[in-house]
Amino acid sequence: MFKNLKIQFKISVLLIVLLVVSVALNVAWSSNSQIRQAEREMLEKTQILDQEMRAVWDFIDINQHRIDTDSDGEYNFKNIYCAIAGKSVAKLFMQQNDYEIRYVSFTPRYSNAYPDEFEALALTEFDSGADIDEYYGITTFNERDVFRYASPIRIKASCLSCHGEPAGELDVTGHVKEGLEIGDLAGAMSVIMPIDLYMENINANILQQSISFFLISAATIAIVYLGISLVVTRPLRRMERAIEQMESGNLNIDFDETGSSGEIRELERKFQSMAQQLQGLYNNLEGEVEERTHQLAEANRVLDEQRMNLERANEMLKDESRYKSDFLATMSHEFRTPLTAILAIADLWEHSGRFMSERDLDTIRELKENGSILLNMVNNILEVARIDAGRVEMNYELVDLVDLISVVESVTRPLAERRDISFVTTVAPEVPLIRADWEKLRRIVENLASNAIKFTKRGGEVSINVRYEEGAEAGDEGWIVLAVSDTGIGIRAEEISLVFEKFVQLDKSAFRRYNGSGLGLTVVKDLAEAHQGTIEVTSEPKRGSTFTVRIPVSNAPDDEGDAAGSGALGAVGASDTRSGAAADKAPQHSALQTGKEEALYEDNAC
């Protein structure tokens, strides 16, 4: 709300607040200073009165012997002494004004000499041992504001005849002696002075000064207000009217005759320059809009051409990718048939029963070994081509993980033993039968196991662990977790994301220590995802790696696919039935079982 008020009103409120605060501060300061001045004046008067009353006491004390001696020189106590004289003079003084003079003590000889609260505080201060010879302040007495003053009365040598030793003896006045000594506190003289007249004068002075200060301040503020109106408010109003003109479409603003100066004049000049620039922009706006429209249309035409070129390039890339996949699938399929025949003939030759020299046996083993390497490479290429083309069919059936791990172990254990590597497999008792593609699941485990052996040095350890993991939600039958661990060379953290890429090997030296096509882990990842599963890698350089595959227990296709015994992923393409997969793996098993496992696993690795 305050933001919407005019600046002139804001300045007025600010000046009024400043005026009120100034007057209040002036009243407070003036009142305090005048009260202190009045207090000093009253203190001086009471001090003078105290000295005069003490002079009366001293006069009586000095002349006490003369007063009590007759003209013939005989002692005659006339009952006139310093206390009586002081009180009498004080009584006469009080009859002439509103002052009140009292003589008080903690042990008075008269009942009207007991101290009140203020006097008791003064007597306590005097008797405390501190060198205090007066006690004063503004307070109330009989519901009136008064100035009170008290001074101590101490025992002198002349006082001992009435107040000294022996205590309890009657003095000449008939009162009991107190047994006091020189310097002891006998009592105090208390003066009570009214301050009504002082306060009336103070209030009158404060009122007069406040009125004068208010008038001077009001005049000053009025002058300041007029100055601000002339220097600030009026120029701002002119600028407000100029803005209204601009809103109506008139940009011909002229501040040359305003008479402003300083910062306001500079602001007006900049505002006028802005209006002139806007006028120039408006004058050229239509031409610029037409030019920009033409440029935009040209840009759109170029974008359309680029989009069409991009679409053609994408189509060409799709065709090339399809041609590549078809070529790889066809060539792999054509290579596999003669390779299988070569391996079968080599196997028959080795087991023909004919006598052969050790050199002939080495030649046969070398033939079977390299043939197995090539056949496994062809199978991986064929599998990758099918996956890329979307023509992979999943043959779901009940799979016993114990049997599957046993088959993998029979293939890979001889290779591990030849490299002096400890090979351990474990299947937890609670692992159930699952629905999966037996052959593809075998390829997953075998490729991971072969890869682990390949990158593990002699004396290391490779393990396959299968366990069951319950589902996190209702209706989820859980997961089978296949973990293949090794104590090999490991993988650096920045290279883990590359191990599943096609044709990628982390060893890029001119003479690679570890052979292979770089498709083994790619096939593992694709086949795991085909089962709706996942694969993860944890590794530490020089400590080893663990590849963990998670496959859902219930992984059956829809009812129609389940009734047929298989489910398709992607478009239905080349047949890959259970019997066909078994035919593919038969020669591999034969080659591996004859002792050529090492050559086969080298190509399974990435």
Cβ neighbours for 144, distance < 8 A, ≥ 6 positions apart: 194, 196
Residue 45, phi then psi, degrees to nearest 5 = -65, -45
Q: Name the percent of the chain lying above pLDDT 90.
A: 18
Which among 104, 292, 85 has a CA at the least distance from the CA of 187?
A: 104
Helices (H), ranges, 455-519: none
- 563, pLDDT greater than 60: no
Confirm if 533 and 553 have CB atoms less than 8 A apart. no
Which among 210, 576, 228 has a CA at the least distance from the CA of 393?
A: 576
Residue 476, Cβ neighbours under 10 Å: how many?
A: 12
- Distance separating alpha carbons of residues 507 and 605, to the nearest angstrom: 12
User: Higher pLDDT residue, 409 or 38?
Assistant: 409
Q: What is the per-residue pLDDT for 597?
A: 35
- 194, pLDDT greater than 60: yes
**Mean pLDDT, rounded, for 478-498:** 90
- Give CATH for domain 38-196: 3.30.450
- 401, pLDDT greater than 90: yes
Structure tokens at 431: 């692992």
The least confident of 47-61, 435-449, 558-572 is 558-572
Band (pLDDT 50/70/90 cuts) for residue 97 is: confident
Q: What is the per-residue pLDDT for 596?
A: 33
- Distance separating alpha carbons of residues 453 and 174, to the nearest angstrom: 132
Q: What is the per-residue pLDDT for 262?
A: 62
Strand residues in 176-252 grouped as ranges (E): 185-194
**Mean pLDDT, rounded, for 63-83:** 75
pLDDT in tens, 437-453: 999 999 899 889 988 99
Please state the separation of Cα 92 from the chain's center in Å. Answer: 83
Helix (H) or strand (E) holding 537: strand 534-540
- 344, pLDDT greater than 90: no
Confirm if 454 and 432 have CB atoms less than 8 A apart. no
Band (pLDDT 50/70/90 cuts) for residue 249 is: low
- Determine if the peptide bond prior to 166 is cis (ω within 30°): yes
Q: What is the per-residue pLDDT for 554?
A: 80
Report the DSSP beta bridge partners of residue 437.
Answer: 396
- Distance separating alpha carbons of residues 381 and 399, to the nearest angstrom: 25
Task: Return the top range by mean pLDDT from 135-139, 238-242, 331-335.
Answer: 135-139
Residue 411, Cβ neighbours under 10 Å: how many?
A: 23
- 128, pLDDT greater than 50: yes
Kind of pairing between the strands at 422-427 and 461-469: parallel
Confirm if 144 and 196 have CB atoms less than 8 A apart. yes
**Mean pLDDT, rounded, for 195-210:** 79
Q: What is the per-residue pLDDT for 218?
A: 81
Helices (H), ranges, 104-195: 117-126, 160-163
Band (pLDDT 50/70/90 cuts) for residue 591 is: very low
Cβ neighbours for 40, distance < 8 A, ≥ 6 positions apart: none
Q: What is the per-residue pLDDT for 580?
A: 32
**Mean pLDDT, rounded, for 257-264:** 59
Q: Name the percent of the chain lying above pLDDT 70.
A: 78
User: Higher pLDDT residue, 373 or 13?
Assistant: 13
Q: What is the per-residue pLDDT for 408?
A: 92
Asked if the domains at 38-196 and 393-577+588-604 fall in one CATH topology, the answer is no
The least confident of 137-146, 297-306, 360-369 is 360-369
**Three-class SS state of 225:** helix
Report the DSSP beta bridge partners of residue 568.
Answer: 393
Residue position matching structure tokens 């059956």: 556
Average pLDDT for the chain: 77
Largest CA distance in the chain: 184
Q: What is the per-residue pLDDT for 561?
A: 42
Helix (H) or strand (E) holding 482: strand 479-486
Q: What is the per-residue pLDDT for 598?
A: 34
Domain boundaries, the chain: 38-196, 393-577+588-604
Band (pLDDT 50/70/90 cuts) for residue 487 is: very high
Contacts 24+ apart (CB under 8 A), 256-262: 260/235, 262/231
Give domain 393-577+588-604's CATH architecture: 2-Layer Sandwich (3.30)
Q: What is the per-residue pLDDT for 209?
A: 76
Q: What is the per-residue pLDDT for 135?
A: 92
